[in-house]
Amino acid sequence: MRPSLLLPKHTPTLLRQQQQQQNVSRGVFGCTVAAREQGHHPHHHQQLQLHTAATSTTSSSSTSSVNADEISHFSALASSWWDPHGPSRPLHLMNPLRHDFIADCLASSPEAATPLSPPAAAGTQTRGLRYLDVGCGGGIFAESAARRPGTHSVTAIDPSATILGVARQHARRDPTLTTGTPAEPKLQYLNASIETLPLPAAPERLFDVVTLFEVVEHVDRPAAFLDACGWFVRPGGWLVLSTIARTWTSWLTTNVLAEDVLRVVPRGTHDWRKYINADELRAHFEDGARPVVMGVVYVPGLGWKKVGGSEKLGNYFFAVQKRDVVRDRQNKINRNWGVRL
């Protein structure tokens, strides 16, 4: 009998285990205070590194969140990534909700009246949003984000060269995706993990929206992974992800029904032990972050639907806005002087 058909043991998630093993103070979000104060970034992970949980499997290095078994599993599905009726069908159906959720997050921001990204140069038109899509896979979200009128550029990264080959080949079908500049194309794919991606040298080249869709439950060291992603979010920008809650309901729907019974997704796609609950993410980003959560439910024949409160059962979106410390200080000064921005 397959392990997924046995009742799972309710053990702490990797994220919670890591936080228990190393009690660190968190900053605005996305890095530990110790790391930020010492000037470390994702390429100097001695401070960001949290302990590995016992349930982790093979990773590519001692400081990497990349799990080699996960990469092998999804690389085998690369050729069918863009088949809307294939194994990636749930991702295709979920994609519109991804954009809706990001739009809701941006609309909820106090800075929504003005674009997060500044003009590229004095006297030029204010540009749109700069996206970083982490664990982009075959590019379902990355391509659609690049086509949106409010987008300046999309950088999409994935550690699987096989999957990126499919993504690049598909993107060539649309000439509009080849626009932009040599330094910053409209859409670019990079074979990298978040730990190996160079941090932009200039603060204005950080990203307005960093996305991790259906990724965090597939990595090793998720707490350190989230911290590393946070370095790339500009102050006032958003870290947006989707994942699955670790509940009895999600075990039944994703492991038993989706994989074993209905075969909607290939066996081995999900590891229930690596699921993360929304409350655990809230605790991880508790210092000054502004969380937004939206539960979604898959309805056969209708696709994904927003259902309030369902984040406690299974799939959900989660986002936090990175505090703009400089702006916060200025707002406080202005309030003290009776000035309204």
Q: What is the pLDDT of residues 253-302, one digit of tens each?
A: 777 777 667 777 777 777 888 899 999 999 999 765 679 999 998 887 88
Tokens of 199: 């941090």
Distances (CA, A) of 94 to 100, 298, 302: 10, 9, 11
Candidates 48, 136, 108; CA nearest to 238 is: 108
Query: How many domains, in total, are found in the chain?
Result: 1
For 127-152, give the DSSP string. P-EEEEEET-TTSHHHHHHHHSTTEE
Is 213 within any annotated ligand binding site?
Answer: yes
- To the question of whether residue 286 is assigned a binding role by annotation, the answer is no
Structure tokens at 19: 């936080």
The answer to whether 207 is a known ligand-binding residue is no
* 217 has binding-site annotation: yes
* Distance, CA of 53 to chain centre: 21
Instruction: Compute how many other C-beta atoms are within 10 angstroms of the C-beta atom of residue 108.
Output: 13
> In this prediction, what percent of the chain has a pLDDT beyond 70?
70
Q: Is residue 293 part of a domain?
A: yes
Is residue 225 annotated as involved in ligand binding?
no
- 214 known ligand binder: yes
Task: Give phi and psi for 11, each to the nearest 5.
Answer: -100, 155
What is the C-alpha to C-alpha distance for residues 15 and 50, in angstroms, rounded to an integer?
10
Q: Is the residue at 117 inside a domain? A: no
Specify if 256 maps to a domain: yes
User: For residue 118, is it within any domain?
Assistant: no
> Which residues contact residue 37 at a Cβ distance below 8 angstroms, ignoring those fewer than 6 apart?
none
Residue 327 confidence class, pLDDT cut points 50, 70, 90: low
Segment 107-159, tens digit of pLDDT: 987 565 445 555 554 444 457 999 999 999 999 999 999 999 999 999 999 99
pLDDT recorded at residue 250: 79
Say if 253 falls within a structural domain.
yes
Nearest Cα neighbor of 147 from 122, 171, 123 is: 171
Q: Judge whether 247 lies within some domain.
A: yes
What mean pLDDT do residues 296-314 have? 84
Pairing of strands 207-213, 129-134: parallel
More confident residue, 212 or 28: 212
- Ligand-binding annotation for 314, yes or no, is no
Torsion of CA 158, 159, 162, 168, to 10 degrees: 30
Q: What is the DSSP string of 187-201?
A: EEEEE--TTTSPPPS
| Encoded amino acid at 214, one letter | E
Which CATH number goes with the domain that contains 235?
Answer: 3.40.50.150
The model scores a pTM over 0.95: no
What is the domain range of residue 104? 16-110+127-336
Q: How far apart are CA 35 and CA 277, in angstroms?
A: 26
- Cβ atoms within 10 Å, residue 85: 8
Would residue 9 count as lying in a domain? no
